[in-house]
């Protein structure tokens, strides 16, 4: 397959974080924008799209919401505690708004899409509510609010990918960047709100993806992470009728320059193919790290979750990764205490963890989300104390496995991309290895953040590799 992408005519979880534009606004309208993001990397990427749209309207970003004229909080609906944090934060913004009545406060993203006008009508916490597919409408919506109205646009789209918008990099270190390759999700996992808040799956124009990654490299960035709810289902067809899958896209991005590291997230066990794994093997600059959510190690629970694979299928995919990419790091997501989960089924999740020995995991107790298939079909019937105990067992096991994976790397020489000074000591650098492990080592004046160095791993903590530059 040859799309000649680089020269085509088309080449034209977690805490809230305040985002600040790293480049000056060319036309300043005298108003300041504050954006705070919660949740997944996709939300942070979306905030960069929002900042780009409003920078074109003359908005300057600020890190202090108290001096902002417009405040947006980009929200996540995946778990109940994330929504509660957003509500508490909006109450803080409301106090500032009372001191500055002209301030515009808005909710963006998944929580906006799920709760729609509730924020405007019942809680009166915000002036504008905007879903993930309506960011182009923000200038009009802000104008509506300026004229004394409330504003809402939560329409979902089957086409919107924001492919023509160049995201501005917020709080950027100039080294790592997220690049969205698709939006929405067609998987109807029974516990998940994403298909309802982000709409149907659609893949972004491959030319625009390669151009964005190339532009980032030319601007000095050394690592891109390709983002999608399910990157393995990426599928785009050119005007000439040539179809490109994720393996093909991954190859084109890797070919931009061997010094541009490529990561991706998230993979789905039902869709990750051997073709993708062999593409990863072919290119040294595609990081040997895969995030492959398992959610549960029990086939019955997986069926209730509508994950469309069973325990055996998942283990087969793990075996393929181990065979094709020996030493590849694997991380996962685990949900414990899902509806009707028995103690024996919980033990199967623990045994799956023993089988894989993940490098890292995101681990949660099941939290029923209104509107999901699970909320409609199944009782959330596992007592909270049992959920908590099962989660502790999962966390304890994962901590042991994570430490084991780090211990296995002692004595290796690994290529590390320097990202910053260590939080604990300005005398040390911190960066990440190909396997996505944090590596700390004494700083050397010959090198700076953004450089690759070879590091001999000498020891580790429970979460960090420690070594020294060699060669």
Q: What is the pLDDT of residues 257-271, one digit of tens each?
A: 999 999 999 999 999
Residues 385 and 421 in one domain: no
d(CA 63, CA 348): 46
Q: How confident is the model at residue 308 (pLDDT cuts 50, 70, 90)?
A: very high
CB atoms within 10 A of CB 441: 23
286's tokens: 């595609």
Residue 4 lies in a domain: no
CATH label of the domain that carries residue 419: 2.40.50.140
CATH label of the domain that carries residue 96: 3.40.50.12160
Residue 166 lies in a domain: no
Residue 163 gets the label, from left (phi > 0), alpha (psi -120 to 50) or beta, of alpha
Q: What is the pLDDT of residues 279-307, one digit of tens each?
A: 999 999 999 999 999 999 999 999 999 99
- The pLDDT of residue 460 is 98
Residues 352 and 244 in one domain: yes
Is 14 strand, coil or helix? coil
Residues 299 and 348 in one domain: yes
Mean pLDDT computed over every residue of the chain:
90
Closest by CA to 263, choosing from 437, 470, 453, 4, is: 437
Residue 164 lies in a domain: no
Query: Residue 239 contacts by C-beta under 8 Å, 6 or more apart in sequence?
Result: none
Closest by CA to 135, choosing from 118, 101, 102, 112, is: 112
Lowest pLDDT segment from 121-125, 303-307, 437-441: 121-125
- The pLDDT of residue 368 is 92
Cβ neighbourhood burial of 295 (10 Å; 0-12, 13-18, 19+): buried
Residue 8 lies in a domain: no
Residues 375 and 426 in one domain: no
- The pLDDT of residue 10 is 31
Residue 393 lies in a domain: yes
Instruction: Give me the residues paired with residue 244 across strands.
Output: 236
Residues 400 and 417 in one domain: no
Instruction: Give me the residues paired with residue 36 across strands.
Output: 18, 73
Residues 299 and 418 in one domain: no
d(CA 17, CA 47): 11
Quick one: average pLDDT of 308-317? 98
Residues 395 and 422 in one domain: no
Q: How confident is the model at residue 77 (pLDDT cuts 50, 70, 90)?
A: low
Residue after which a domain boundary falls, among 153, 168, 188: 153
Handedness of CA 70, 91, 114, 73 (dihedral sign): positive
Q: How confident is the model at residue 88 (pLDDT cuts 50, 70, 90)?
A: confident
* 129-130-131-135 Cα dihedral, nearest 10 degrees: -170
Residues 118 and 187 in one domain: no
- The pLDDT of residue 112 is 76
Does pLDDT of 119 surpass 80? no
Residue 461 lies in a domain: yes
Angstrom CA distances, 407 to 277, 400, 401, 404, 411, stand at 25, 11, 10, 5, 9
Residue after which a domain boundary falls, among 378, 405, 432: 405
Closest by CA to 106, choosing from 120, 123, 92, is: 120
Residues 134 and 17 in one domain: yes
Residue whose entry in the numeric block shows the structure tokens 């980009």: 74
Number of independent structural domains in the chain: 3
Residues 133 and 264 in one domain: no
Residue whose entry in the numeric block shows the structure tokens 């650098």: 429
Does pLDDT of 7 surpass 80? no
Provide φ and ψ at 314, rounded to 5°: -60, -45
Q: What is the pLDDT of residues 233-243, one digit of tens each?
A: 999 999 899 99
Does pLDDT of 27 surpass 90? no
- Give the structural domain span for 426: 413-469
Percent with pLDDT over 90 in the chain: 72
CATH label of the domain that carries residue 243: 3.80.30.20
Contact 453, 416 (CB under 8 A): yes
Residue 170 lies in a domain: no
Does pLDDT of 114 surpass 80? no
Provide φ and ψ at 169, rounded to 5°: -90, 120
448 upstream amide cis, omega within 30 of 0: no
Residue 3 lies in a domain: no
Residue after which a domain boundary falls, among 356, 388, 405: 405
Residues 114 and 89 in one domain: yes
Q: What is the pLDDT of residues 371-412, one digit of tens each?
A: 899 999 999 999 999 999 999 999 999 999 999 999 999 999
Q: Work out the angle at residue 355's Cα, subtended by the Cα atoms of residues 349 and 361, and round it to the nearest 5 degrees.
A: 60
Percent with pLDDT over 70 in the chain: 91
Residues 318 and 432 in one domain: no
Does pLDDT of 9 surpass 50? no
């Amino acid at each position: 397959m040859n799309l000649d992408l680089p020269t085509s005519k088309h080449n034209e979880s977690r805490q809230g974080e305040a985002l600040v534009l790293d480049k000056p606004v060319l036309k300043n309208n005298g108003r300041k924008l504050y954006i705070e993001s919660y949740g997944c990397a996709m939300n942070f990427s979306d905030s960069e799209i929002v900042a780009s749209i409003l920078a074109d309207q003359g908005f300057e970003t600020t890190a202090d919401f108290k001096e902002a004229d417009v405040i947006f909080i980009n929200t996540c609906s995946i778990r109940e505690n994330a929504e509660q944090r957003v509500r508490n934060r909006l109450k803080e913004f409301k106090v500032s708004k009372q001191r500055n009545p002209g301030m515009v406060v808005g909710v963006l993203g998944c929580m906006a899409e799920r709760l729609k006008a509730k924020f405007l009508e019942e809680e009166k916490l915000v002036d504008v509510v905007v879903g993930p597919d309506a960011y182009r409408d923000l200038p009009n919506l802000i104008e509506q609010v300026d004229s004394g109205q409330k504003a809402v646009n939560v329409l979902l789209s089957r086409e919107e990918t924001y492919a023509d918008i160049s995201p501005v990099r917020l709080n950027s270190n100039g080294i790592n960047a997220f690049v969205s390759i698709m939006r929405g999700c067609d998987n109807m996992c029974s516990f998940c709100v994403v298909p309802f808040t982000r709409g149907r799956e659609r893949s972004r124009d491959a030319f625009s993806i390669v151009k964005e990654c190339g532009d980032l490299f030319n601007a000095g960035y050394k690592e891109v992470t390709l983002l999608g709810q399910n990157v393995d289902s990426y599928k785009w067809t050119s005007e000439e009728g040539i179809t490109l899958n994720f393996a093909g896209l991954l190859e084109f991005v890797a070919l931009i320059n061997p010094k541009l590291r490529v990561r991706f997230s998230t993979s789905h066990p039902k869709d990750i193919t051997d073709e993708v794994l062999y593409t990863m093997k072919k290119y040294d600059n595609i990081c040997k790290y895969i995030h492959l959510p398992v959610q549960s190690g029990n086939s019955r629970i997986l069926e209730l979750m509508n994950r469309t694979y069973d325990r055996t299928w998942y283990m087969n995919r793990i075996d393929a990764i181990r065979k094709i990419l020996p030493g590849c790091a694997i991380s996962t997501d685990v949900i414990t205490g899902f509806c009707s989960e028995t103690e024996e089924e919980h033990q199967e999740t623990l045994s799956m963890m023993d089988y894989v020995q993940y490098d890292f995991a995101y681990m949660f107790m099941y939290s029923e989300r209104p509107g999901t298939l699970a909320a409609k079909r199944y009782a959330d019937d596992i007592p909270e104390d049992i959920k908590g105990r099962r989660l502790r067992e999962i966390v304890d096991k994962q901590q042991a496995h994570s430490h084991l994976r780090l211990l296995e790397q002692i004595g290796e020489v690994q290529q590390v991309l320097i990202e910053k000074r260590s939080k604990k000591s300005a005398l040390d650098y911190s960066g990440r290895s190909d396997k996505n492990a944090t590596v700390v080592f004494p700083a050397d004046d010959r090198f700076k953040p953004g450089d690759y160095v070879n590091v001999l791993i000498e020891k580790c903590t429970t979460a960090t590799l420690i070594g020294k530059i060699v060669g």
